[in-house]
Amino acid sequence: MGRLGLPEGLPFLMDRGRPVAYANRWLASLADTGCDSPQTWSGYATDFKAYYQFLRDERGEDPLSADRSDWGAYSSARRITGHGQWTLLADSSWGRQLAALERFYGWALEEGLRTDTPFRYAPMKAVPREDGGFRVVRRNLAAAKRPKAHVTIKWLEPSELRLFLQVGLGGLLPNGREDPAFRGRYATRNRAFGTFSGWQRRAC
């Protein structure tokens, strides 16, 4: 590979004995776009190859002509159904595959090989720019949703629930008397709502 002016360890994609020219151009561009790890090149090539083969064998399509329905079929096969060689992927493997394909389609847009991508996005937040404007950060809807590690749900025990209803919401002291320091409003309504919510929880 060094004789061709390409980095050592750069993968090369073939399809039935013939090189896939555009895919190899993309792979060759990785080293010039901040991706200089041979391990990452290999992972991206493997991920792209799986996508390429699925489109060719299952849809009769090519990544450069794939539309949202093609992408949806691939996403479903790797995340929901799984059949044949298209086994289900773990969240980490799917995340890497999605990163590889987003990078590929970003490159294809820059090269004028496509005018859009097959992905669907949702806006997440607006981030300030140095010029005083904002840029919208988007989330690929195909990305696996990962719960935050610190988020947990703990139900109150019956004794804790009663204390919460009477003291926290109801404006009473632990001994059941009116709390003169209580500054809340609509204590009866709040206590009734809390009681109803607690009853629903016990009924589940």
pLDDT in tens, 77-120: 999 888 778 899 998 899 999 999 999 999 999 999 999 999 98
**Whether pLDDT at 151 is above 70:** no
What class does CATH assign to 2-140? mainly alpha
**Whether pLDDT at 63 is above 90:** yes
Per-chain mean pLDDT for the chain = 81
Specify the pLDDT at position 78: 93
Q: How far apart, in whole angstroms, are the C-alpha atoms of residue 130 and residue 200?
A: 50
3-state secondary structure the chain: CHHHCCCCCCCCCEECCEECHHHHHHHHHHHHCCCCCHHHHHHHHHHHHHHHHHHHHHHCCCCCCCCHHHHHHHHHHHHCCCECCECCCCHHHHHHHHHHHHHHHHHHHHCCCCCCCCCCEEEEEEEECCCCCEEEEEEECCCCCCCCCCCCCCCCCHHHHHHHHHHHHCCECCCCCECCCCCCCCHHHHHHHHHHHHHHHHHC
Under 8 Å between Cβ of 128 and 134: yes
**Whether pLDDT at 202 is above 50:** no
Q: Which percentage of the chain shows pLDDT scores above 90? A: 40
pTM over 0.85: no
Radius of gyration of the chain (CA): 27
Lowest mean pLDDT among 22-26, 107-111, 194-198: 194-198
pLDDT band at 200 (very low <50, low <70, confident <90, very high): very low
Specify the pLDDT at position 24: 94
What are the domain boundaries of the chain? 2-140, 158-203
**What does the pLDDT average to over 134-145?**
75
- Please give the residue that has the higher pLDDT: either 106 or 176: 106
Specify the pLDDT at position 31: 84
